[in-house]
Structure 1
């Protein structure tokens, strides 16, 4: 049975950047080798089950699963527009330094730190001076072409 929209699919996967850097995986030995397991010690590495068409994964991965069958392995190359989009200046926000310091209880973040907005969005502090703080809320993988090595374990 080949995968169609609406099917529940269980996969094992390895997500890599074009330079071969592993950024995500369902396989614990790969996560350990890539240093991901150390960075996320509480994460459980296990096969992923998704409903195709329910937008539970990025568009390019979902589209790449359609037509595959249980037992198949493939590598999908997913351009930014089918993944996390291109990097955009509109996702960089400026805050008045004094206002941000007040919102953070007197603290001021430093360049390179992560800042979590009230919405839960996380951004990289890219500039701090006495007048303005700039925070980049672009997704970490924005602008990247992603490669997913996928093994289809089960299709329902």
Structure 2
């Protein structure tokens, strides 16, 4: 009997996340390092976990997830306008680049520079895939 994925299952799988246009956003196959996690440990969102419930070892499946079920909708409150003086030659303000900003607790928060106009730099702290519909492809390697 094959074990089905359920709450608390330890799962090893390859996955890839693609955008609607087919662009690969992330894949464990690139480095050939499958993801290993326990269902419910917070590694994946509930929506991603719900896709996996009932799958068994060896199974491959694709799921299309709307933004609100994947990485959330883009939140305008997570877009900040910073003064260009906050940037340096080490971390230049270049449109499209991702910059890590130190938080008060010592952690770092990545932000995408969306635009640079004069002394104003627009930084988006939403997840880079927020607001996008994604395709979640999985290949289940083992279930315990």
Shorter chain as denominator, the TM-score bin is: 0.7 to 0.9
Structure 1 CA distance for aligned equivalents of residues 37 and 21 of structure 2: 27
Matching residue within 35, 38, 42 for 1:55: 42
Which TM-score applies when normalising by structure 2? 0.82
1:37 equivalent in structure 2: none
Is 1:95 matched up with 2:116? no
* Contact 1:97–1:129 (8 Å) recurs in 2: no
SS in structure 2 at match of 1:121: strand
1:145 counterpart residue number: 133
Cα distance, 1:108 vs. partner? 5.4
Q: 2: CA distance between counterparts of 1:16 and 1:7? A: 25
Q: CA deviation at 1:73?
A: 1.5
1:117: which partner in 2? 101
CA distance in 2, matches of 1:48, 1:106: 33
Structure 1 residues 152 and 107, CA gap change in structure 2 (3 angstroms): closer
Q: Number of matched residues? A: 138
Is there any run of 5+ residues in structure 2 with no aligned partner, and where? none
Alpha-carbon distance in structure 2 between the residues aligned to 1:106 and 1:72: 46
Question: Does the 8 Å CA contact 1:7/1:52 hold for their aligned counterparts?
Answer: yes
Matching of residues 32-71 of structure 1 within 5 Å: 44-71=31-58
1:45-81 Cα deviation digits (max 9, x unpaired): 2221111111102332211111111122211112211
Q: Is residue 139 of structure 2 the alignment partner of residue 155 of structure 1?
A: no
Q: Let me know the Cα RMSD of the aligned residues.
A: 2.2
How has the CA–CA distance of structure 1 residues 125 and 9 changed in structure 2, closer, same or farther, with 3 Å as cutoff?
same
Q: TM-score, normalised by structure 1?
A: 0.77
Paired position in structure 2 for 1:19: 21
Distance in structure 1 (CA, Å) of the matches to 2:13 and 2:118:
49
